[in-house]
């Protein structure tokens, strides 16, 4: 018996297909050792990471790591979906022929793990026993101990998950090789990084990073790209970048569930972890099920169900504080084993800080190092605490990683293998002056059309089209794995078969006045429009029909305990018909790039355009009322 077989035996990896996969790639990448890991190895691996200088201690049994300065975020331009079928090319999936890109990545990986340990991570991206078990299991091979420790928090890790597969060979095979990060030519024409999902082979090959989404293969590469492809290939499910929550009415004992997609910086995590405002807290609870990924399927009872395949939270640290997200702060508090990445760190105090954690950075800068590892005290005095661009202490994409069990408002249904029945699907972007607070959509086609035209408002400096949207269909733009036309048809097919389909709606917490001040207080107050939506779905309120959907009447919203200017509320519940007419013109161009877009989506688009024309009618530019 050779050393690899002994290591696989010691780790309890009995699955023959998985053992063959390990042997194949160990021979190719040539690590010095092979080690199978499980969640039970966490404390030992943390101790090893501390001893090796890969981690630094943070008070309360938490840990800090700093990534290479050119390896701090997902790299969409170096992320590809590869298959053997050119018909899989979409607008957003960066499709490449598998037989062309696989040899390139394999050459880069050859011998690239010499002197390192190959960690074998058997994992499950789902609560055990779900109806989608066949697509949830995977094995990641990585040469990074830090990646292992993140995966232990983000997935269910252990060889036992491979022992009960109906088909022992049916698991996602993932290979992550860090590479020589200082010699990869990041951002140059000679960029050697490749993050490839070979979707029709269920094979993930990532080379040239040790950062989050590029290296935690169970998360985005499996949980979104591969799962999305598997869902359409099997016809069984949808894999979406969605948050998932429950809202429990303590008076009736009934819990309703909402999932939804939000582009970056549009409040998805804060919404998933929100606490009801004081005036509503006596009656309602918000239960967290997930803030990033949901798999949706049609259950035997004819309803759409969803679950979060992840087992942890990989959150953006920036602007996370007690006011914006008290539950997140508790989830990363002392005793949680949280991993912090690319925040500011003080080795003497064993403490971390990031922009937005407190209104100002610590006054005493002694011992503090920024995300690059440079001492704040070595900066000129005027740049130490300026808050100006370029003077940040933490990276804008700095992160925390914590286990799901640490979230205080975690749903009691979090481990339910069936997931939860979905009552509503919402979409929401950051739009300053067009989108009302909430608008319900009364047909499946309108709801899917709204998701397909989802976006966040661009700025002139960033996009050259001030006030228009950077479209992010269903919040899946970076994660699409097959053509958009087929993707939309999958939505229409799956939801269309439901006996009790969810209601769709669009929300917007970010309208501003002429002075740039937000009109809606946001955070926990966002529960109020969601309660209206659930009332609307149950027929307890009617709202008022507008060209863009059904909006609440003021008296239908639960406003007790909320101090808001009456004029602001009127504005939030009105429709700017002129701005919407401009938006529809932009949507026409956006939709035209998608081949094979189902006709019901075009019909929904035309109905909106016609309704807006009728609403304008030369009479008014804004539709409002109570």
List of long-range contacts for 580-584, beta carbons under 8 Å, 24+ apart: 580/434, 580/547, 580/548, 580/612, 581/612, 581/613, 581/616, 583/434, 583/468, 583/469, 584/608, 584/609, 584/612
83-113 per-position pLDDT tens digit: 999 999 999 999 999 999 999 999 999 999 9
Alpha carbon distance 532, 530 (integer Å): 5
Q: For 222-241, what is the mean pLDDT? A: 98
Q: Given a cut of 50, is residue 460 above it in pLDDT?
A: no
Sign of CA dihedral 438, 443, 448, 453: negative
* Alpha carbon 452 to chain centroid, angstroms: 17
Q: For 239-264, what is the mean pLDDT? A: 97
Confidence of residue 457 (pLDDT cuts 50, 70, 90): confident
Of 371, 291, 361, 295, which Cα lies nearest the Cα of 331?
A: 291
Buried b (16+ CB within 10 A) or exposed e, 384-417: bbeeeeebbbbbbbbbbbbbbebbebbbebbeee
534-569 per-position pLDDT tens digit: 999 999 999 999 999 999 999 999 999 999 999 999
Alpha carbon distance 605, 584 (integer Å): 8
192-221 per-position pLDDT tens digit: 999 999 999 999 999 999 998 899 999 999
Fold of 314-403: Phosphoenolpyruvate Carboxykinase; domain 2 (2.170.8)
CATH superfamily, domain at 3-42+75-234: Phosphoenolpyruvate Carboxykinase, domain 1 (3.40.449.10)
Of 570, 576, 575, which Cα lies nearest the Cα of 557?
A: 570
Alpha carbon distance 505, 530 (integer Å): 9
Report pLDDT for 615.
Answer: 80
CB 126 within 8 A of CB 136: yes
Helices (H), ranges, 411-545: 444-452, 460-463, 484-496, 527-538
Global pTM value:
0.96
CB 451 within 8 A of CB 427: yes
Q: Given a cut of 60, is residue 63 above it in pLDDT?
A: yes
Query: Mean pLDDT of all residues in the chain?
Result: 95
Report pLDDT for 257.
Answer: 98
CB 581 within 8 A of CB 616: yes
Q: Is 299 exposed, middle or buried (0-12, 13-18, 19+ CB in 10 A)?
A: middle
Q: For 333-349, what is the mean pLDDT? A: 98
Q: Given a cut of 90, is residue 625 above it in pLDDT?
A: no
Q: Given a cut of 50, is residue 466 above it in pLDDT?
A: no
Q: Is domain 243-308+414-623 classified as CATH 3.90.228.20?
A: yes
Report pLDDT for 622.
Answer: 57
Q: For 330-345, what is the mean pLDDT? A: 98
Q: Given a cut of 70, is residue 463 above it in pLDDT?
A: no
| Strands ordered across the beta sheet of 62-65 | 56-58, 62-65, 339-341, 399-403, 312-316
Domain residue limits, the chain: 3-42+75-234, 243-308+414-623, 314-403
**Integer CA distances (angstroms), 146 to 141, 178, 332, in order:** 13, 11, 18
| Strands ordered across the beta sheet of 424-428 | 284-290, 243-249, 254-261, 424-428, 503-507, 438-441, 549-551, 544-546
| Strands ordered across the beta sheet of 304-307 | 237-240, 294-298, 304-307, 420-421
Q: For 510-515, what is the mean pLDDT? A: 94
């Amino acid at each position: 018996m050779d050393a690899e077989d002994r290591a696989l035996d010691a780790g309890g990896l009995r699955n023959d297909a998985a053992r063959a996969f390990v042997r194949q790639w160990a021979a190719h990448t040539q690590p010095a050792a092979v080690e199978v890991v499980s969640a039970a190895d966490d404390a030992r691996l943390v101790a090893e990471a501390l001893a090796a200088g890969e981690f630094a201690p943070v008070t309360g049994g938490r840990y800090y790591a700093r990534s290479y300065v050119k390896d701090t975020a997902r790299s969409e331009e170096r992320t590809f979906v590869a298959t053997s079928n050119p018909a899989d090319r979409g607008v957003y999936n960066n499709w490449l022929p598998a037989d062309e890109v696989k040899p390139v990545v394999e050459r880069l990986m050859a011998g690239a793990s010499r002197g390192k340990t190959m960690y074998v991570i058997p994992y499950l991206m789902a609560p055990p026993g779900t109806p989608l078990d066949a697509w949830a299991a995977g094995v990641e091979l990585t040469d990074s101990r830090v990646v292992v420790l993140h995966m232990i928090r983000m997935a269910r890790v252990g060889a036992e998950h491979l022992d009960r597969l109906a088909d022992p060979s049916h698991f996602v095979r993932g290979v992550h090789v860090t590479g020589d990060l200082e010699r990869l030519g990041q951002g140059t024409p000679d960029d050697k990084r490749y993050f490839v999902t070979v979707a029709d082979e269920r094979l993930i090959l990532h080379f040239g990073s040790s950062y989050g989404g590029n290296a935690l293969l169970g998360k985005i590469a499996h949980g979104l790209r591969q799962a999305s492809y598997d869902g359409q290939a099997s016809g069984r499910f949808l894999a979406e970048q969605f948050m998932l929550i429950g809202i429990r009415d303590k008076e009736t004992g009934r819990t309703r569930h909402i999932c939804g997609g939000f582009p970056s910086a549009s409040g998805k995590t804060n919404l998933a972890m929100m606490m009801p405002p004081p005036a509503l807290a006596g009656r309602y609870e918000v239960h967290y099920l997930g803030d990033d990924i949901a798999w949706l399927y049609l259950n035997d009872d004819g309803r759409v169900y969803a679950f979060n395949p992840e087992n942890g939270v990989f959150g953006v640290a920036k602007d996370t504080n007690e006011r914006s997200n008290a539950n997140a702060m508790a989830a990363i508090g002392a005793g949680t084993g949280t991993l912090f990445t690319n925040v500011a760190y003080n080795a003497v105090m064993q403490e971390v800080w990031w922009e937005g954690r407190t209104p100002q950075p610590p006054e005493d800068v002694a011992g503090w190092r920024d995300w690059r590892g440079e001492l704040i005290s070595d900066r000129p005095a005027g740049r130490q605490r300026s808050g100006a661009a370029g003077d940040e202490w933490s990276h804008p994409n700095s992160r925390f990683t914590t286990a799901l069990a640490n979230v205080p408002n975690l749903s009691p249904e979090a481990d339910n293998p069936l997931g939860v029945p979905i009552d509503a699907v919402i979409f929401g972007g950051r739009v300053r002056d067009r989108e009302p607070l909430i608008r319900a959509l009364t047909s499946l086609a309108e709801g899917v059309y709204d998701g397909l035209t989802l976006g966040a408002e661009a700025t002139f400096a960033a996009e050259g089209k001030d006030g228009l949207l950077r479209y992010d269909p269903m919040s899946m733009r970076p994660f699409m794995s097959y053509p958009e036309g087929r993707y939309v048809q999958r939505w229409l097919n799956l939801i269309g078969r439901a006996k009790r389909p969810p209601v769709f709606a669009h929300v917007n917490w970010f309208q501003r006045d002429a002075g740039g001040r937000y009109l809606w207080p946001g955070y926990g107050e966002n529960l109020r429009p969601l309660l209206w939506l659930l009332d609307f779905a149950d027929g307890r309120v009617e709202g008022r029909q507008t060209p863009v959907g059904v909006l609440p009447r003021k008296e239908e919203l639960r406003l007790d305990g909320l101090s808001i200017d009456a004029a602001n509320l009127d504005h939030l519940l009105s429709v700017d018909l002129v701005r919407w007419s401009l938006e529809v013109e932009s949507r026409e161009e956006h939709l035209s790039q998608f081949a094979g877009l189902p006709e019901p989506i075009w019909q929904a688009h035309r109905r909106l355009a016609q309704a807006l024309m009728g609403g304008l009618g030369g009479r008014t530019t804004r539709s409002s009322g109570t």
